[in-house]
Amino acid sequence: MRIPLGTALGDIAVETARHHGWDALKDEELLKRGASEGFTVLLTTDQSLGTEQADSPLAVVAVDDNRVPALLAALAEIAEAIRSAIPGQP
């Protein structure tokens, strides 16, 4: 399911954890499940997730604000962070 952020990011596919039924998963399980389903990056507002899960199979990109206006204002930075994200690096 593409969401407005996904549409705005163009070639970067965006899907929600809720869409996949993963919204109740704990951090570690969410990262493992996402990786097993072929995802490469998790976009989150949890600023500490990347450092807490340093051995994550997914790259973690944290944003300060998940409200649509804030996300749209930061699209270029978010897209660059997603494209350059490396698993295990905060």
19-23, 39-43, 54-58, 79-83: range with lowest mean pLDDT: 54-58
Contact 73, 40 (CB under 8 A): no
Q: Report the pLDDT value the prediction gives residue 1, as an integer from 0 to 100.
A: 45
Q: Which residue carries 């399980």 as its tokens?
A: 29
DSSP bridge pairs for 43: 61
For the chain, give the mean pLDDT: 87
Question: Can you give the pTM of this predicted structure?
Answer: 0.84
Is residue 41 scored above 90 in pLDDT? yes
Q: Report the pLDDT value the prediction gives residue 89, as an integer from 0 to 100.
A: 75
Provide the residue type at 61 as one letter.
V
Question: Domain residues of the chain, as ranges?
Answer: 4-84
Spell out where the chain has E strands.
41-44, 59-62
